[in-house]
Structure 1
Amino acid sequence: MTFPSEFRWTSAARSDTGCVRQINEDALLDAPTRGVWAVADGMGGHAVGDLASRMVIESLTKVKGASGLTNVLADARARLLRVNEQLRAEAARRQVSRIGSTVVLLITRDRACGYLWAGDSRIYLLRRGNLVQLTRDHSHVEELKARGQLTAEEALHHPAQHLITRAVGALDVLELDENTLELRDGDTFLLCSDGLSNEVSEAEMANELASGDCDTAAQRLLEIALSRGGRDNISVVVAHAEDLMASDKTQVNPGV
């Protein structure tokens, strides 16, 4: 049996150069009225990472929004594949090995959402108090963890922590992972670059997201990362879903 739902979205975004880097190579998209959010992190140590992240986000701002979730995700994927080709060509023109960017994208339609990603920018979901990382990093350290060669604690301090295995522009063929899930009333999503996830624990993320106040949560998460030294660019997007047709609306305190 299906039940009627009408989701109202609120969201907020923050991006900061941090305390160490000179340039912010992150870029983000915060478009709640279109149901599209994204974070891109230009590849550190490579030429013009800010150009790469900007091209990724500019392509996603043009994603067609009228059709169903499957078609919208396919359109986003096609646009990112074109950006990959453009970045490969630009790298060849500049005679550098690569110009690249991570990407994590969240799209919502009706009762569902879809997300796709390449690299180590992440999406988390807070649902009924439980925080889950929806994406799996495309990184050398994550591969070592998957093979049981590193613990989660060891991974935090591994010297290869920043070596990613996928990114838009990194290789001639771009591989994007993709998934979908059904929405629930009160779902809160966090999209972020590794400048946030490397500094802020999941317990702290869950604590700040719990109120459902996107603007306050985004600001507080940024402040925590900066207080830890802000060693990288920091980008955060928080998006909250409220089902206006939820049967228990009159019984639930919206602040809880």
Structure 2
Amino acid sequence: MAETKTHRVTVAQRALLLSWAGVTDLGRRRETNQDAFLAEFPLFVVADGMGGHAGGEIASRSTVERLQAVVSAGDVNGPAIEKALEQAVGDIADHPETTDEGTGTTLTGVFFAITGDHAQWVALNIGDSRVYLLRDDRLVQVTTDHSVVQELITAGKLSPEEAEGHPYSNVITRAVGASELTAPDYVTIDVRAGDRFVICSDGLTKELTDYGIQHFLREHRDPGHSVDAMLAAALENGGRDNVTLIIVQVEDEDDSSSPIEDTTE
């Protein structure tokens, strides 16, 4: 079973407990795993690499390693993340095995941030990996895909159902790669007890619908059990790509669902 980890923070004179688990898997049709993830408070991200030979694996790993250094430095914020991505682009470009101009990686996730006296989540995204939020028993996609089909959907030229089988369904319009530097999109989210985030590569969403993701969140409260169940279902449904996901959930002792203000120093 995937290991569930926890971090406790005192907020608004209450104990706020964050718990999470993550897993990555080769899938059933790939020869290499080009996904990577980082799940360490306060940053939780998934990177889905792309590129010939070992390129995708190098791109995702380089990006996650640079972000790990940001966590270790203890100052996770937008500018620090963007600086790390700039460094990752250099790492990818300089690596001897990343000669393919298409080499790069998606990046998506959330980090826990404090602005003034308030705690909040900040979701970030480059590419078509996704962040979902289950709140009040309703699942919503927090991030917006950077993909050709999403642009067509937004323009009203394609329905979500038609997008699933579109020939350009895997073509993304933004990436962290050797040939470009792109800042993430950011979405801020208030911190509420009971919230559960799913951060995943498209290897999961190719095999599970939003309804399926919501089903497994409802069935399994422990993040470790949830990620194991979703991974097993994705593999059973075909496992056509590498599958990576992280689940992060928020609880407090009095089970309140109101917004939380952070009072830690």
- Using the TM superposition, give the Cα deviation of residue 3 of structure 1 relative to its aligned residue in structure 2, in angstroms: 4.9
Where structure 2 has 5 or more consecutive residues not aligned to the other structure, the ranges are 1-10, 258-265
- What does residue range 154-165 of structure 1 map to in structure 2 within 5 Å? 154-165=162-173
Q: Is the 8 A contact 2:120 2:189 kept in 1?
A: yes
Aligned match of 2:100:
96
- Specify whether residues 197 and 123 from structure 1 end up closer, same or farther in structure 2 by C-alpha distance, changes over 3 A only: same
Quote the offset at 1:105 in angstroms. 2.5
Please report the TM-score for the alignment, with normalisation by the length of structure 2. Answer: 0.84
Which structure's residues are more often strand, by fraction?
Answer: 2
Q: TM-score, normalised by structure 1?
A: 0.87
Match of 2:22 among 13, 17, 33: 13
Worse-matched range after superposition: 154-163 or 211-220: 211-220
**Structure 1: how far apart are the matches of 2:110 and 2:14?**
19
Of residues 103, 112, 119, the one that matches 2:120 is 112
Please say if 1:57 is aligned against 2:61.
no
Give the distance between the partners of 1:7 and 1:80, measured in 2 at CA: 30
Post-superposition Cα deviations, 1:11-51, rounded to whole Å, max 9, x if no partner, equal 111111111000000001121xx221110000155752001
Distance 1:209 1:179 in 2: 22
State the 1:109 CA deviation: 3.4
CA distance in 2, matches of 1:76, 1:173: 12
Q: Which residue in the other structure is 2:90 paired with?
A: 85
Aligned partner of residue 80 in structure 2, secondary structure: helix
Do structure 1's residue 35 and structure 2's residue 42 form an aligned pair? yes
Question: SS at the partner of 1:8?
Answer: strand
Q: Of 227, 238, 245, which residue of structure 2 is paired with 1:218?
A: 227
Match of 1:23 among 29, 32, 48: 32
Q: Aligned-pair RMSD on alpha carbons?
A: 2.3
CA–CA separation in structure 2 for the residues paired with 1:5 and 1:44:
47
How many residues of Structure 1 are paired with residues of Structure 2 in the alignment?
242
| Cα displacement string for residues 60-105 of structure 1 (whole angstroms, at most 9, x for unaligned residues) | 11114645xxx623211211122123323448x8543232010112
Identity over aligned residues, as a percent? 35
Shift of 1:191: 0.4
Q: Give the Cα–Cα distance (whole angstroms) in 2 for the partners of residues 10 and 237 of structure 1.
A: 11
Give distance in 2, aligned partners of 1:90 and 1:66: 27
Partner of 2:152, secondary structure, is helix
Identify which range, 93-102 or 14-23, moves more after superposition. 93-102
Q: 1:172 aligns with which of 177, 180, 184?
A: 180
Query: How far 1:5 sits from its partner (Å)?
Result: 4.5
* 247 and 203 in structure 1: CA distance in 2 versus 1, 3 angstrom threshold: closer
SS across alignment from 2:211: helix
Which residue of structure 1 aligns with residue 3 of structure 2? none
Unaligned runs of 5+ in 1: 249-256
